[in-house]
């Protein structure tokens, strides 16, 4: 049995050294050290040896078992290191190759327009105000002097979240929230998303508005007109033609809509022609609105206006359909 152990040491050592990968090394380990391995079988057979040989053979077999385990562990470490090196070479990055260009991001065209408009009004002394997209009917309609039977309160015009709660149809509720918390003078603009049940080339179920409000002593319609003319000439240029048309809004009196004379190519005929395009609504704040926020309408007066960021973006860039602004088509967005 001693000769067998010596030969086993030679054979096993050679197989461990020759193992070229982790799989073959594991096969060697099982062949010699596994539950049915050759050394394990020798240790189990020591009971048949003479008492004199049993001790020395047991020591030889256990020593050989420990040596094989150490050599297998050492060989495993070598093979794992070689495998890591091989993978590193396969995944090596050639630093001399040019890098992949990452296209720079940019501000969405709607935000570009909103920022530009905001800057004009902020330079005139207006401050920024924000309000929630989900509003109660009180802030969206009641406080703005909108009667219960007004068509805007029907489900075919307004998205109802639940009874008494809507997705705001305009940014005007911000007026009420600001005036509830602020005493005059007040001068704010309120950009934000609004929602209406409407969809075609110039209307979207969600679009972006900007509300403006100024309240102080002695404010007149002339102040409103002067503010809006300054904005329009600053944004569209000094040569743009403008007209004010009488209109009706529940929360302003008197009220008006403002048009600009816009020259564009007809998307159906290709003909270049000029036409009047409405860009905003405005008016003097209705006394009933002042009552709802506990302002003395005999002491204070004010004006309000609301403009559509989407439509102004369409005018500025000649965009034919409002849906392009919300489709996230990079071919369209990269133009801006």
CATH code for position 244 = 3.30.930.10
Tokens of 27: 């096969």
The answer on 33 and 177 residing in a single domain is no
HSE value, Cβ hemisphere, 13 Å, CA-based, for 95: 0
What pLDDT does residue 168 have? 92
What pLDDT does residue 173 have? 93
What pLDDT does residue 120 have? 96
Give the structural domain span for 51: 2-90
Last residue of a domain, one of 90, 122, 152: 90
- What is the domain count for the chain? 2
What pLDDT does residue 201 have? 59
Q: How far apart are CA 220 and CA 321, in angstroms?
A: 37
Is-cis flag, bond preceding 213, omega within 30?
no
* CA 74 to each of CA 14, 40, 283: distance values in angstroms, whole numbers, following the listed order: 14, 21, 88
> What are the per-10-residue average pLDDT scores of the chain (336 residues)?
73 84 85 77 69 70 81 88 85 78 86 94 95 93 87 80 90 94 94 84 79 95 96 92 93 93 70 81 95 94 93 83 84 86
- Output Rg (C-alpha) for the chain, integer angstroms: 41
The neighbour count for residue 275, using CB atoms within 10 Å, is 11
Residue 95 covered by a domain: no
Residue 98 covered by a domain: no
Is-cis flag, bond preceding 254, omega within 30?
yes
The answer on 234 and 150 residing in a single domain is yes
What pLDDT does residue 202 have? 58
Residue 270 covered by a domain: yes
Q: How far apart are CA 62 and CA 284, in angstroms?
A: 102
How do strand 127-128 and strand 186-195 relate by DSSP bridges?
A: parallel
Q: How far apart are CA 317 and CA 18, in angstroms?
A: 74
What pLDDT does residue 200 have? 64
Q: Enumerate long-range contacts of 67-75, CB under 8 Å, 24 or more apart.
A: 67/9, 68/12, 68/16, 68/29, 68/32, 68/33, 68/39, 69/33, 71/13, 71/16, 72/16, 72/25, 72/28, 72/29, 72/33, 75/16, 75/17, 75/19, 75/25
The answer on 154 and 25 residing in a single domain is no
pTM value is 0.66
What pLDDT does residue 49 have? 66
* CA 222 to each of CA 164, 219, 225: distance values in angstroms, whole numbers, following the listed order: 37, 8, 5
Residue 104 covered by a domain: no
What pLDDT does residue 53 have? 66
What pLDDT does residue 265 have? 64
The answer on 164 and 57 residing in a single domain is no
The answer on 249 and 160 residing in a single domain is yes
């Amino acid at each position: 049995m001693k000769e067998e152990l010596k030969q086993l040491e030679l054979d096993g050592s050679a197989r461990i050294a020759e193992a070229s990968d982790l799989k073959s090394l594991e096969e060697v380990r099982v062949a010699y050290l596994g539950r049915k391995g050759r050394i394990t079988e020798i240790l189990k057979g020591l009971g048949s040896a003479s008492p004199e040989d049993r001790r020395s053979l047991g020591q030889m077999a256990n020593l050989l078992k420990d040596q094989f385990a150490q050599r297998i562990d050492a060989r495993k470490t070598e093979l794992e290191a070689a495998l890591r090196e091989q993978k590193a070479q396969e995944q090596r990055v050639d630093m001399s190759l040019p890098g992949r260009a990452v296209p720079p991001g940019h501000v969405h065209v709607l935000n570009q327009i909103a920022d530009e408009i905001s800057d004009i009004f902020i330079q005139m002394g207006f401050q920024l105000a924000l309000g929630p997209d989900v509003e109660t009917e009180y802030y969206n309609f009641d406080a703005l002097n909108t009667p219960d039977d007004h068509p805007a309160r029907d489900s075919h015009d307004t998205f109802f979240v639940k009874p008494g709660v809507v997705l705001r149809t305009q940014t005007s509720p911000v007026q009420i929230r600001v005036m509830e918390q602020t005493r005059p003078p007040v001068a704010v603009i309120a950009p934000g998303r609004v929602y209406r049940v409407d969809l075609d080339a110039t209307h979207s179920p969600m679009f972006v508005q900007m509300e403006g409000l100024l309240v102080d002593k002695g404010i007149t319609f002339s102040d409103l007109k002067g503010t809006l003319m300054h904005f329009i000439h600053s944004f569209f240029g000094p040569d743009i033609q403008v007209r004010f048309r009488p209109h009706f809004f529940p929360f302003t009196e008197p009220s008006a809509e403002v048009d600009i004379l816009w020259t564009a190519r007809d998307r159906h005929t290709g003909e270049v022609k000029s036409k009047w395009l409405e860009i905003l609504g405005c008016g003097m704040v209705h006394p009933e609105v002042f009552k709802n926020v506990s302002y003395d309408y005999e002491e204070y007066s004010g004006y309000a206006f609301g403009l559509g960021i989407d439509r102004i973006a369409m005018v500025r860039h000649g965009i034919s359909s409002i849906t392009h602004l919300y489709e996230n088509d990079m071919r369209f967005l990269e133009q801006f």
